[in-house]
Amino acid sequence: MALDSASCVRNEALASHIYSMPCKPIELPPAVAPRFVEDMRAFFAEKDGIKADAIAARQLHALKQHEDGKLRLTDIKEMFVQMRDRA
C-alpha cells in the first residue's frame, strides 16, 4: 500500500524552520497496512485529543521502522486526513 504524498509542499521560499510532509511516497509493507487503516479509523473516532495523538504516535513509531526518511507526528496526521478523504 503506497501513501501518495503528492500534496506535499514543494516551495523553496519556505523558511528552513517550516517542515513539510515528505514528497516521496511511503510504501507500507502488507503486514503494516491493515494496522495503519485500523489506527486511522480509531484516530478519527477518538474524541480525546491526547488519545488521538497517542494513536498517531503509535503509527509514527511503526512507520519509522520501515521508512528511512524523517517523519513527524504531523506527517502521520496528514496521512490520516489524506487517506480518509480518499475513502
Mean predicted confidence (pLDDT) in 3-23: 46
Higher pLDDT, residue 14 or 49: 49
If you ran DSSP here, which 8-state letter would residue 25 be given?
A: P
- How far, in Å, CA of 50 to CA of 10, rounded? 30
| Domain extents in the chain | 29-87
Rg (CA), the chain: 13
pLDDT tens, residue by residue, 43-79: 999 999 999 999 999 999 998 888 777 889 999 999 9
pLDDT score for 9: 42
Cβ contact 19:69 at 8 Å: no
Say if residue 21's pLDDT is above 60: no
- Per-chain mean pLDDT for the chain: 78
State phi, psi for 7 to the nearest 5 degrees: -85, 10
